[in-house]
Every structure is written in C-alpha cells, then in structure tokens.
Amino acid sequence: MHAVDVIRAKRDGRRLTSEEIRWFLDSYTRGEIADEQASALLMAVFFRGLDPGELTTWTTAMIESGERLDLSAVDRPTVDKHSTGGVGDKVSLVLVPLVAACGVAVPQLSGRGLGHTGGTLDKMEAIPGWRADLTPEEMVAILDEVGGVIAAAGPGLAPADRKLYALRDVTATVESIPLIASSIMAKKIAEGTGGLVLDVKFGAGAFLPEPERGRVLAETMVALGEADGVRTVALQTAMETVLGRTAGNALEVVEAVETLRGGGPPDLVEVTVALAEEMVALAGVDADPGALLASGAALPVWERMVAAQGGDPAAPLPVAPHRRAVEAPASGVLRRLDARGVGVAAWRLGAGRARKEHPVSAAAGVVCLAKPGDEVRAGEPLLELHSDDPARFEAALAALDGAIEVGDAAAPTGPLVLARVGAAAGENGPA
C-alpha cells in the first residue's frame, strides 16, 4: 500500500477498507509515514467523515497500536467517566471518591487543560506531593486498596492517538466528530474498564457548543463503546456558565473538598450525582450516591486516594498573592456569566495553557461571587481574579468584555442535564 493512495481515496470520498486504515495507522505509529501525510489524511477525514464501519476500525486500530490495561485483578466492578471539558468542571474530583465509596472501582485516566477548559490532572497537581504518573501495577493496587484512582494515561496506551492528537492540534482538525469520538474512546476502551459514563458538555463554554452536535458525538461514542463490549452511557450537561463558583486549579480543589464534606454548590452536586447514579447502575451496585455525598462519607475515600498517590490531603493549597475584583456594571439580576469568557480569563491569569507542554499556575483562577439568577448591586464585586502576576489582570479583564449581562429579571434557563444516550438503564431521551 501507499500513503498517497489512501489519502487520495478519502479525499475523493471513497470508503476506506479495514486493511487500508489498519495499515496507515500502524505505519504512522511506527514512524514509516510522515507527519505531512498523516495531516493530509486527517484533513480528508475532517471534510469527508468516516462511516460507522470505518470509525470502528479506526478506533480499534488505535487501541491495538499499544497495550490494554488488565484490571481483572480488581475485585470490584469497574466503571469510569469522561467529560468533554468545560469551565469549573471539577466533577471528577468529587465523583471518583463518591462512586468508590458506593463500592465501585473507578480507574480514572485524565488529561490536562488546554485553552479555556481546565484539566483534572492540573487540579490534582495543586495538592502538594500528589503524582499523576502511575504504573499499571500501582493503579491496580490503589484500586484494590481505595477503590478510586485519578492518573495520567501511560505512553503505552493508544500511542497512535497520542501522535494523531498532536497533529490535530496544529492542523485545525480537532473539531471533527469521528476524530473526537475515536480519540476519546480508544483511550477509554484501552483502559480496560467494564463500564463508561460520558459527560458531553454543551453551551458557551463547551468544546461543541451546539446541543445537536453534542448529541451526535454522544451517540457516536456510545456506539463505539458498546461495539467493543464496554457498557456505555452518555449524559448531555449544560456548560453555559461556570460549574460551581470557581475556575482554577487549587480553587477547584477547595470547592471539591467542600462538596465532599456534604456542602458545595447545587449545580455541581446535581451534575455529579446524576453521573454517579449512572455509574453505579452500570456496575450493578445498589447505592444512593446523593445521600452518600450529602453525608460526607466520601471524604475519607478522597483523603486515602490522595495519600495513596503521594499527596497530603491536609496540606495547605497554593494561594495567589494578587487579587482583583470585577464589579457589577449595574444593579439588577445577573442574567448571564459566559462560561467561555470566564474560562479564557482564568487561562490568561495563569490557570491554563495554550500548548500541552506549557506550565500552569496552581493558584491562579476566577472565583464567581455571583451566579446567573442572583441579585447584584452596581459597584459590588461580581468576580474575584487570582494570579501570581498582577500584569496578567488586564488581559483577563479583556476576556470578560461582553461576558457579563445584568438586567431586570433572570434569563430563562434550561435543565443542567439535557438528555441521556444509551439504553443500559432505560430509554434514550430527555433526562
């Protein structure tokens, strides 16, 4: 086979054979096909798409480019969760110990933030001593001991995806639903979990703002999981405004711990419990995650999980030396606080990165002193910006231009959980 022939075929709209897909991805992973040619195929896929058969083969080939984790030694049912990313999305920090406290093993392989969306590993690394890089043996041991683990995917897991993702980031081919779905599901299936719950965000702060496109992505990922024998469910959840009241690494850890104590913002609790209920249902475990979370019973699991990965759950978290208030522009009701604007502001304050190799600040971020629907007074603090470097404030303020709207009455709001995809515990449709 020749790479140019495969590229030309997809460019011209021909369906690729299984042999062509497997050969191309295997050859690229082994360095026998140039980045330029892989980039050309990605662009052809971006415009021409992949049909269900092509996509299944593409995903399987990425899984088979590396190793699969073996979780058979874990004596609990295993279920993981993946979010497509948002602003203030600290759900995993609460969800993993909560579901573990229900009797399910949660092998959460997470990523780092990029652009306006935060990353779970960046948040966890705000905890002194905590480490993300674990061997498969360490993961299994912590799952046996604690029931939950949050870790980075190792280099042996779907290496084809690792190479392709780096190309997609620099070739404007990230927003392709087949490429997004295969990238997420290759890693999650290779992780070896028995069940998977997907949190597909929609709204201003989401990767795919339109609910319709999110629905297609959810259906595509559920189909890929089920085809490989992984019980899979997706929830579409709202990301119009910040989830909870914080966006930033250490700030979000503090809020997650508050939630694990039985408090926390109602929107964060609602989304976390909805996902937890799906996870315990997939595992076949009879538990009430909402009651357990409210009782504070998941907090000791969090503390053991952090300690098992070298962290000190009692250590003080980093605090930014510089703060600046953003005042309400008028009196009335806060109608809108745009998630993307807040996310970009947090990124510019130092909480995020433009490229995966860039460092982040543990202390930087944004605290929302009011949320949509709250009454506000002109001149009173609406947001609090945190940064290690006061020179960053102006760029953060520019990101918030147009992100805040105050009016006479609250804007109409939709449900936090819009829809469910996957028939493992019921019919598809509105949640």
Check if 82 is active-site: yes
Q: Percent of the chain, pLDDT > 90?
A: 89
Q: Which residues are 385's β-sheet partners?
A: 324, 366
Q: What is the CATH number of the domain that holds 83?
A: 3.40.1030.10
- Over residues 115-144, the mean pLDDT reads 93
For residue 322, what is the enclosing H or E element?
strand 322-327
Does residue 244 contact residue 267 with C-beta atoms inside 8 Å?
Answer: yes
Is 161 a known active-site residue? yes
Question: Of these residues, 48, 76, 82, 231, which one is catalytic?
Answer: 82
Domain assignment present for 66? no
The percent of residues above 70 in pLDDT, for the chain, comes to 98
Q: Is 10 a catalytic residue?
A: no
**Cα 355 from chain centre:** 17
Q: Which pLDDT score is estimated for 429?
A: 55
- CATH number reported for the structural domain that contains residue 395 in this entry: 3.90.1170.30
- Inside any domain, residue 65: no
Q: Is 389 tagged catalytic?
A: no
pLDDT averaged over every residue in the chain: 94
pLDDT of residue 426: 44
Mean pLDDT, residues 100-113 taken together: 93
pLDDT of 431 reads 53
Q: pLDDT at position 425, please?
A: 47
Of the residues 161, 199, 267, 338, which is catalytic?
A: 161
Query: 362 and 345, same structural domain?
Result: yes
Q: In what order do the strands lie in the sheet with 332-337?
A: 375-376, 332-337, 404-407
Q: Are residues 240 and 328 in the same domain?
A: no
Q: What is the token pair recorded at 313?
A: 């759950």
User: Which pLDDT score, from 0 to 100, does residue 427 have?
Assistant: 45
Q: Tell if the pTM clears 0.85, that is, is over it.
A: yes
Confidence of residue 224 (pLDDT cuts 50, 70, 90): very high
CATH number at 32 reads 1.20.970.10
Pair 111, 220 in one domain: yes
Residue 67 lies in a domain: no
pLDDT tens-digit map of 20-47: 999 999 999 999 999 999 999 999 999 9
Question: Which whole number is the average pLDDT over 83-94?
Answer: 95
Residue 267 included in any domain: yes
Mean pLDDT value across residues 101-109: 96
Please provide residue 197's backbone torsions phi and psi, each rounded to the nearest 5 degrees. -115, 125
322-354: burial string, b at 16+ Cβ within 10 Å, e else? bebebebeeebbbbbbbbbbbbbbbbbbbbbbe
Residue 70 domain-assigned (yes or no): no
Is there a single domain that holds both residue 197 and residue 291?
yes
Respond yes or no: is residue 168 known to be catalytic. Answer: yes
256 band by pLDDT with thresholds 50, 70 and 90 = very high
pLDDT in the model for residue 166: 86
Supply φ then ψ for residue 198, to 5 degrees.
Answer: -105, 135
Query: 170-210 pLDDT, tens per residue?
Result: 898 988 999 999 999 999 999 999 999 999 999 999 988 99
Strands 332-337 and 375-376: antiparallel
Per-residue confidence (pLDDT) for residue 260, from 0 to 100: 98
9 with 111, same domain: the answer is no
In a domain, 73, yes or no: no
pLDDT at 179: 95
341/280 same-domain check? no
Average pLDDT of the residues in 245-272: 98
Tell whether 293 and 207 lie within a shared domain. Answer: yes
d(CA 356, CA 118): 12
Q: Residue 359's pLDDT is what?
A: 87
319-337 per-position pLDDT tens digit: 999 999 999 999 999 999 9
388 & 425 share domain: no
Would you place residue 155 in the very low, low, confident or very high pLDDT band (cuts 50, 70, 90)? confident
Q: In total, how many domains does the chain have?
A: 3
Please give the Cα distance from 73 to 2 (Å, whole number): 43
On whether both 399 and 423 belong to a single domain, the answer is no
Whether the predicted pLDDT of 228 surpasses 50: yes
160, 61 contact by CB (below 8 A): yes
* Domain extent for 14: 3-49
Q: What is the mean pLDDT of residues 129-150?
A: 95
Residue 285 lies in a domain: yes
What whole-number distance in Å separates Cα of residue 1 and Cα of residue 14? 16
Instruction: Examine the domain organization and report whether 197 and 227 are in the same domain.
Output: yes
User: Which residues of 338-390 form beta strands (DSSP E)?
Assistant: 365-368, 375-376, 381-387
Q: How far, rounded to the nearest angstrom, does the alpha carbon of residue 194 sit from its chain's CA centroid?
A: 19
Nearest to 160 by CA among 1, 49, 41: 41
Reported confidence tier of residue 424, pLDDT bands at 50, 70, 90: low
Claim to verify: residue 332 and residue 422 sit in the same structural domain: no
Give residue 339's pLDDT: 96
Q: 187, 201, 348, 386: which is the annotated catalytic residue?
A: 187
Asked if residue 78 has pLDDT above 90, the reply is yes
What would the mean pLDDT of 306-322 be, rounded to a whole number?
A: 97
**Residue 55 counted as domain residue:** no
Q: Is the pLDDT of residue 400 over 80?
A: yes
Token digits for 70? 């073996």
Same domain for 341 and 302, yes or no, is no
